[in-house]
Amino acid sequence: DAGVIQSPRHEVTEMGQEVTLRCKPISGHDYLFWYRQTMMRGLELLIYFNNNVPIDDSGMPEDRFSAKMPNASFSTLKIQPSEPRDSAVYFCASSPQGPHSYEQYFGPGTRLTVT
């Protein structure tokens, strides 16, 4: 299996622009998670989905952030408009359903820089 796939790996954008991050979970995994990692705040869960349905979005910082999962193999995290404080590494992770559903596997991350 190719593991969790994220694109782009690096994104540099100007303040005010829209940014879209993409994720393909491991095939057969029913849970998908979006995390943000910064030096100041560590690894934070933004939102997670089960069977394409958002379950908990309490970590989404504000209305500028939105996430969708239109099907089992694709999810997006959108920031509109972007701000310099959004600069971080964004990880997507997936987890299988069933007795081993606790294990989360991370993608390589997208390093976002907003200037």
Partner 1 sequence: GENVEQHPSTLSVQEGDSAVIKCTYSDSASNYFPWYKQELGKRPQLIIDIRSNVGEKKDQRIAVTLNKTAKHFSLHITETQPEDSAVYFCAARTMNYGGATNKLIFGTGTLLAVQP
First to last CA, the chain: 36
Binding mask 43-62 for partner 1 (x = CB under 8 A): x-x--x-x----xx------
Which are the contacts of 38, defined by CB distance < 8 A and separation ≥ 6? Answer: 44, 87, 88, 89
Q: Which of 52, 72, 78, 105 binds partner 1 (CB under 8 A)?
A: 105
In the range 60-99, which residues lie near partner 1 by CB under 8 A? Answer: 91, 95
2 binds partner 1, rule: CB under 8 A: no
CA distances from 53 to 50, 70, 73, 86 (A): 5, 9, 13, 25
Q: How far is the CB of 22 from partner 1 (least distance, A)?
A: 16
Q: Give me 47's structure tokens.
A: 């939102």
Which of residues 22 and 81 has its CB atom nearest to partner 1 in the complex?
22
Alpha carbon distance 60, 64 (integer Å)? 9
* Residues near partner 1, by CB under 8 A: 31, 42-43, 45, 48, 50, 55-56, 91, 95, 101-109
